[in-house]
Amino acid sequence: MTTQLSQRQRADALHRLHQRGRPLVLVNAWDAASAGVLQAGGASVIATTSAGMAWSLGYADGEHVPRDEFIAACARICRIARVPVTVDIERGFGHNADEVCKLVRGLVRLGVVGVNIEDGVSPQTRQLLPPGPLCERIVALRALAAQEGVHLFINARTDAYFATPAGIADRFETALQRAQLYASAGADGIFVPGLHDRAEVTRFARSIEQPLNVYAGHAGVPDVQLLAAAGVQRISLGCGPLQSVLGLLDRIAREAFTLGRMSAMTRDMADAGHLNSLFLPPTH
What is the pLDDT at residue 2?
42
What pLDDT is stored for residue 168 in this prediction? Answer: 65
Give the class (CATH, top level) of 7-242: alpha beta
Mean pLDDT by 10 residues, the chain (284 residues): 75 94 96 98 98 98 97 98 98 97 98 97 88 98 97 97 74 96 98 95 97 95 96 98 98 97 94 94 67
- Predicted confidence at residue 1, as pLDDT, reads 33
Residue 284's pLDDT is what?
Answer: 54
C-alpha span between 59 and 63 (Å, rounded): 9
CA distances from 29 to 53, 103, 138, 155 (A): 8, 20, 24, 17
- Please name which of 2, 216, 24 lies closest in space to residue 114, comparing C-alpha atoms: 24
Spell out the domain ranges in the chain: 7-242
- What residue spans of 18-131 are helical by DSSP H? 32-40, 50-56, 67-80, 97-110
Q: How far is CA 104 from CA 47, 54, 68, 88, in A?
A: 15, 18, 12, 11
Strands annotated E in 52-193:
85-88, 114-118, 153-157, 189-191
Indicate the pTM of the whole model. Answer: 0.94
pLDDT in tens, 105-162: 999 999 999 999 999 998 888 889 999 999 999 999 999 999 999 999 999 999 999 8
